[in-house]
Amino acid sequence: MSFAPSPALAPNPWVRILGALEKKVTRHSFDACLKPTRFSHASGTTLFVRVPSTDIQETCDRYGDIIQEAMESLEMEFQEVKFVTPEQDPAAARLRDDGGFAPMPAHASNAPQGIGQRSNGQRPGSPASSAQQARFDWNSAAQLNPRYTFDGFVIGNGNQFARAAAGAVAERPSKAYNPLFLYGGVGMGKTHLMHAIGHEMKMRMPQSSICYVSSEKFTNEMINSLRNDRMTSFRDKFRSVDLLLIDDIQFLAQKERTQEEFFHTFNALHESMKQIVIASDRPPKELPEIEDRLRSRFEWGLIADIQPPDLETKVAILQKKAESEQTTLPIDVALFIASNVRTNVRELEGALVRLIAWCGLNGMEITLPTTQQCLKAFIDTQVRKITIESIQRSVAEQFGMRVAELKQKNNSRSVVVPRQIAMYLAKQMTEASLPEIGRQFGGKHHTTVMHSIGKIDELKRTDKDLNRTLNKLMETLNS
Ligand SMILES: Nc1ncnc2c1ncn2[C@@H]1O[C@H](COP(=O)(O)OP(=O)(O)OP(=O)(O)O)[C@@H](O)[C@H]1O
């Protein structure tokens, strides 16, 4: 029997399963994780269900057993449910290629009223639902993570200024600070704060259109629109929002055409008193490959940084996250995790998720000894973790230069070779992707990183000195 969906007629099997699940999980878990999901498509006996983020995907995967039970009790012929993020979903990819925005347009989800995001009131397939002819339906596409709220954000010394600024912007959009520019290291809560602004504004002004987009997605969509001669609808779409939340702005480095387009989007929104919030891994003045006119606009409003959390804040974050998982975390356990996981809040959460799952699966209570046992390998890797920063430091020391020089736009041989070596080591010794490596070297394009790695690979075959240097650096980093 084939379950290929015919959007207008086929009953939505996922909605029936959700109906059953609603009775089996807590209201909080249902609202946070299951409610934002959408039926994507069916293939054979597998149902594909779209989730807005990998976090939610991980949590939904844990419901495998009760989903199985629900399918059996509903006498469905499906064997399995696969949760896919918009990036992993072929159906979403088709929409993206079509120039639509990646996640879950209301007409693609066949979603029931009352579950998930608000409907825009249009009938699926009606002429007005076409992205070409109607204003883009930001209600269905805002992509806000339901867990990233102000309530779920723990305030500490390192983030209180950014949190206060975000609160002011959400309360008085375009009147408090416009733009608000948030910056800070990896996993420090910039995205969380942006989404929280979106949620708060939506609550205060339900009719407002909110767009959260990474600069990478903005770029990709612009390229698609250029290719398909749809720039007018692209512009209309982004210039029709009341709140634009744009993440990872550093990715606009060297993308001149996208910077130009974003410059006009920024001006159009600012002039019409719409709020703009920008997040970046560094302050505007350290974005050398962003045009001056754009950088100066980033400095128009308020710039707020987020510093790494101190021990107390990390403990409070862990307890808050445990609470939302309905788990009690003893204080000694929270202190142990907080003092051993030193990288960022994302890793902190990773350790907690692992601990809860491990204790749950083994039927064990969360105590200090079980935590030490469960997180041993995790913490060992943390201790040994080689980062791009540590590579940059070692390479800079080896060549008697400053780390900043490795990131600057300087093409003299004395800088290019150490930079290529550092990029090569970053690829070999960390799990960072090419774009991430490029990002940490002053916003270099991933093709530049690829070229650098290729160059070192090639030289290594004949250059003994280079091999000696590489071995020495690897030894230092590993020790
Ligand atoms: N102060 C905080 N309170 C509660 N949770 C936090 C806090 N800071 C960070 N987090 C959590 O840490 C995780 C990573 O945060 P987020 O994705 O916002 O980081 P980011 O700064 O945007 O990182 P990146 O630069 O890698 O995108 C999220 O799950 C977020 O909820």
User: How far away, in angstroms, is 342 Cα from ligand 1 center?
Assistant: 14
* pLDDT-derived band at 337, boundaries 50, 70, 90: very high
Cβ 186 under 6 angstroms from ligand 1: yes
The answer on pLDDT for 112 being more than 50 is no
Q: Which atom of ligand 1 is nearest to the CA of 320?
A: 4
Which pair of tokens denotes residue 319? 């307890």
- Probe ligand 1: pick from 199, 345, 352, max atoms within 8 Å of CB? 345
Least confident of 131-145, 213-227, 258-272, 361-375: 131-145
Q: What is the mean pLDDT of residues 470-476?
A: 83
Q: What is the mean pLDDT of residues 31-46?
A: 78
Q: Look at residue 159 and tell me if it is in a domain.
A: yes
Whether residue 293 sits in one domain with residue 160: yes
Q: Look at residue 134 and tell me if it is in a domain.
A: no
CATH number for the domain harbouring residue 274 = 3.40.50.300
Q: Kindly report the number of other CB atoms within 10 A of residue 365's CB atom.
A: 9
* pLDDT-derived band at 120, boundaries 50, 70, 90: very low
Burial level of 181, CB count in 10 A (0-12/13-18/19+)?
A: buried
Q: Look at residue 110 and tell me if it is in a domain.
A: no
User: How far away, in angstroms, is 336 Cα from ligand 1 center?
Assistant: 20
User: How far away, in angstroms, is 305 Cα from ligand 1 center?
Assistant: 13
Map residue 293 onto helix, strand or coil.
Answer: helix
Please give the full DSSP string across 161-195, using - where no structure is assigned. Answer: HHHHHHHHHHHSTTTS-SSEEEEESTTSSHHHHHH
The answer on pLDDT for 97 being more than 60 is no
Q: Look at residue 51 and tell me if it is in a domain.
A: yes
Cβ 189 under 6 angstroms from ligand 1: yes
Task: Say what the pLDDT of residue 22 is.
Answer: 79
The answer on pLDDT for 174 being more than 60 is yes
Q: Kindly report the number of other CB atoms within 10 A of residue 170's CB atom.
A: 25
- Probe ligand 1: pick from 58, 191, 349, max atoms within 8 Å of CB? 191
For the chain, give the mean pLDDT: 81
* Domain stops at, among 305, 325, 357: 305
102 DSSP 8-state letter: S
Q: Look at residue 137 and tell me if it is in a domain.
A: no
Q: What is the mean pLDDT of residues 246-256?
A: 90
Identify the CA nearest to 81 among candidates 32, 43, 33, 30: 43
Whether residue 154 sits in one domain with residue 52: no
User: How far away, in angstroms, is 248 Cα from ligand 1 center?
Assistant: 13
Q: Look at residue 5 and tell me if it is in a domain.
A: no
Task: Say what the pLDDT of residue 106 is.
Answer: 29
Element (H, E) at 306: strand 302-306
CATH number for the domain harbouring residue 396 = 1.10.1750.10
pTM: 0.58
Q: Show binding-site residues for ATP.
A: 187, 189-191
- The tally of domains found in the chain comes to 4
Element (H, E) at 222: helix 215-227
Highest mean pLDDT among 35-44, 113-122, 148-157: 148-157
* pLDDT-derived band at 116, boundaries 50, 70, 90: very low
Whether residue 330 sits in one domain with residue 249: no
Higher-pLDDT residue of 101, 212:
212
Q: Which residue's CA is the nearest one to ligand 1's atom 10?
A: 189
Whether residue 289 sits in one domain with residue 315: no
Least confident of 126-130, 235-239, 350-354: 126-130
| In contact, 42 and 7? CB cutoff 8 Å | no
Q: Show binding-site residues.
A: 187, 189-191
Which pair of tokens denotes residue 67? 């989903």
Q: Rounded CA gap, 25 and 34, in Å?
A: 10
Cβ 53 under 6 angstroms from ligand 1: no
Cβ 192 under 6 angstroms from ligand 1: yes
User: How far away, in angstroms, is 320 Cα from ligand 1 center?
Assistant: 13
Whether residue 248 sits in one domain with residue 294: yes
Cβ 187 under 6 angstroms from ligand 1: yes
The answer on pLDDT for 88 being more than 80 is no
Q: Rounded CA gap, 141 and 132, in Å?
A: 16
Q: Look at residue 145 and tell me if it is in a domain.
A: no
Give the distance between the most distant pair of CA atoms in the chain: 70
Whether residue 464 sits in one domain with residue 428: yes
* pLDDT-derived band at 383, boundaries 50, 70, 90: low
* pLDDT-derived band at 27, boundaries 50, 70, 90: low
Whether residue 290 sits in one domain with residue 342: no
The answer on pLDDT for 156 being more than 50 is yes
User: How far away, in angstroms, is 107 Cα from ligand 1 center?
Assistant: 31
CATH number for the domain harbouring residue 51 = 3.30.300.180
Whether residue 335 sits in one domain with residue 466: no
Q: Which residue's CA is the nearest one to ligand 1's atom 1?
A: 154
Whether residue 472 sits in one domain with residue 351: no
- Probe ligand 1: pick from 147, 346, 387, 431, max atoms within 8 Å of CB? 346
* pLDDT-derived band at 28, boundaries 50, 70, 90: low
Q: Look at residue 124 and tell me if it is in a domain.
A: no
* pLDDT-derived band at 275, boundaries 50, 70, 90: very high
Cβ 349 under 6 angstroms from ligand 1: yes
* pLDDT-derived band at 270, boundaries 50, 70, 90: very high
The answer on pLDDT for 32 being more than 80 is no
Q: What is the mean pLDDT of residues 447-472?
A: 88
Whether residue 256 sits in one domain with residue 238: yes
* Domain stops at, among 383, 409, 428: 383
Whether residue 42 sits in one domain with residue 60: yes
* pLDDT-derived band at 382, boundaries 50, 70, 90: low
Question: Domain range spanning residue 78?
Answer: 13-84
* pLDDT-derived band at 288, boundaries 50, 70, 90: confident
Q: Which residue's CA is the nearest one to ligand 1's atom 14?
A: 187
Q: Which residue's CA is the nearest one to ligand 1's atom 4?
A: 153
Q: What is the pLDDT of residues 396-435, one digit of tens each?
A: 999 999 999 999 888 888 999 999 999 999 988 887 888 8
- The amino acid at residue 439 is R
Q: What is the mean pLDDT of residues 30-41?
A: 78
Cβ 346 under 6 angstroms from ligand 1: yes
* Domain stops at, among 84, 99, 130: 84
User: How far away, in angstroms, is 224 Cα from ligand 1 center?
Assistant: 30
Task: Say what the pLDDT of residue 363 is.
Answer: 87
Task: Say what the pLDDT of residue 423 is.
Answer: 96
Whether residue 325 sits in one domain with residue 295: no
The answer on pLDDT for 128 being more than 80 is no
Cβ 168 under 6 angstroms from ligand 1: no
* pLDDT-derived band at 73, boundaries 50, 70, 90: confident
Q: What is the mean pLDDT of residues 15-35?
A: 77
Task: Say what the pLDDT of residue 134 is.
Answer: 44
The answer on pLDDT for 69 being more than 70 is yes
Q: What is the mean pLDDT of residues 235-264?
A: 92
Cβ 347 under 6 angstroms from ligand 1: no
Least confident of 49-58, 162-171, 295-304, 317-326: 49-58
Task: Say what the pLDDT of residue 200 is.
Answer: 94
Cβ 314 under 6 angstroms from ligand 1: no
